[in-house]
């Protein structure tokens, strides 16, 4: 008999929260999506940079609806899946858009810097508030994969499985360089105004440019050539500001699309959190990976420029409880958002292993 699938789209309060920096955020809330029967084992999904809590979605498609749902690779008739919008995000969780209770106005650039570890600690508090103290699995890619690694190190005793995708143990100089260009684009936009911009007039050009930069790094040159080639849609000799080639039009579209749904300050704060990501930071002695007790299924994607597969492989290739796979794809880093038939079965098989509780 199939269990009824429930759906929640709510916020949970975790009260005051001390950040890794020592600064304190008051009245913190995390927005979350919860799908699946509440008596079922819990799978926590961690989202990427411009993702949100809507992995499945209800009014519109979720960003991982090709992987998660009824009778899909992560089956919401067998598991309950919870995703939080990260601390510092802009989809309902406490972040730069939130009201600073001490000043009765939005934080904007007064929001303190947060780390990936802060995100994980806040989610642990939120799960406790929801009455959840055990996880069957923690899954996520990119910034979500950073959170997955930290979950396994910070709370090694509460989950059975870790599935980090499209991530590395620390962000490389190459990744930081891309983030630096994106930051430059936003902070040099005249409308940014030091982070205290009018939300009716955000630094749209800077944020759109940052997104365009990101899109180049997320895909391979082979994919760009295959999808766009040199297809002409305008007159190359006419204007500097008009798209003459199909690839230009695509990048401009992606930039404007993000402007319509994401806050520039949140984008900047999350980029900083990614730059700061290094699982060895501040940890002396034994490799932090040795602290992980969960079974690990680590998945990388061929051609990933920002998170080279070899870096994740080198971390887990000697761990007895770990399996590592490279997915053959032309999508590069974005492989964790597409072609689910190539790697979804790996996750489905891993999740069949029962909880030990």
Task: Give the residue numbers marked as catalytic.
Answer: 142, 304, 333
Give CA torsion, residues 171, 174, 176, 182, to 10 deg: -140
Computed from CA positions of residues 25, 55, 264, 212, in that sequence, does the dihedral angle turn out positive or negative? positive
Contact indicator for 88, 114 with CB cutoff of 8 Å: yes
Check: CB of residue 10 under 8 Å from CB of residue 53.
no
Residue 101: Cβ within 10 Å count? 12
Round to whole Å and give the CA distance between 196 and 105: 11
The four Cα atoms 258, 262, 263, 266 give a dihedral, to 10 degrees, of: -110
Question: Rounded to an integer, what distance in angstroms lies between the CA atom of residue 331 and that of residue 341?
Answer: 14
Q: Which helix H or strand E contains 19, and what residues bound it? A: none
Alpha-helical (H) ranges within the chain are 116-129, 143-154, 173-187, 204-218, 221-227, 246-259, 264-276, 309-316, 340-351
For residues 135 and 123, the answer to whether their CB atoms sit within 8 Å is: no
- Say how many Å lie between the first and final Cα of the chain, rounded: 23
User: Both tokens of residue 330?
Assistant: 């032309």
């Amino acid at each position: 008999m199939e269990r009824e699938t429930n759906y929640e789209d709510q916020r949970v309060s975790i009260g005051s929260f001390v950040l890794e920096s020592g600064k304190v955020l008051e009245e913190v809330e995390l927005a979350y999506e919860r799908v699946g029967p509440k008596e079922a084992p819990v799978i926590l999904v961690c989202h990427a940079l411009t993702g949100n809590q809507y992995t499945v979605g209800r009014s519109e498609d979720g960003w991982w609806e090709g992987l998660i749902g009824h009778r899909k690779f992560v089956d919401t008739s067998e598991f309950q899946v919870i995703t939080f919008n990260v601390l510092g995000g802009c989809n309902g969780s406490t972040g730069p858009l939130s009201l600073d209770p001490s000043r009765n106005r939005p934080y904007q650039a007064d929001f303190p810097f947060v780390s990936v570890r802060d995100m994980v600690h806040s989610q642990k508090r939120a799960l406790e508030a929801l009455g959840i103290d055990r996880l069957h699995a923690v899954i996520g890619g990119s910034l979500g994969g950073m959170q997955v690694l930290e979950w396994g190190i910070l709370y090694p005793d509460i989950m059975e499985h870790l599935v980090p995708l499209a991530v590395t143990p620390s962000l490389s100089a190459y990744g930081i360089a891309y983030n630096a260009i994106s930051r430059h684009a936003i902070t040099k936009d005249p409308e940014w105004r030091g982070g205290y911009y009018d939300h009716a007039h955000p630094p749209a050009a800077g944020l759109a440019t940052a997104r365009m930069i990101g899109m180049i790094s997320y895909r391979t040159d082979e994919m760009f050539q295959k999808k766009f080639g040199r297809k002409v849609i305008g007159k190359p000799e006419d204007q500097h500001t008009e798209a003459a080639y199909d690839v230009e039009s695509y990048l401009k579209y992606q930039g404007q699309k993000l402007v319509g749904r994401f806050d520039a300050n949140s984008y900047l704060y999350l980029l900083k959190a990614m730059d700061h990501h290094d699982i060895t930071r501040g940890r002396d002695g034994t490799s932090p990976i040795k602290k992980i007790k969960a079974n690990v299924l680590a998945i990388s994607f061929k051609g990933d420029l920002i998170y080279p597969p070899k870096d994740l492989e080198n971390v887990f290739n000697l761990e007895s409880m770990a399996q590592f796979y490279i997915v053959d794809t032309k999508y590069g880093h974005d492989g964790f958002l597409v072609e689910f038939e190539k790697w979804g079965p790996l996750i489905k098989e891993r999740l069949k292993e029962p909880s030990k509780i």
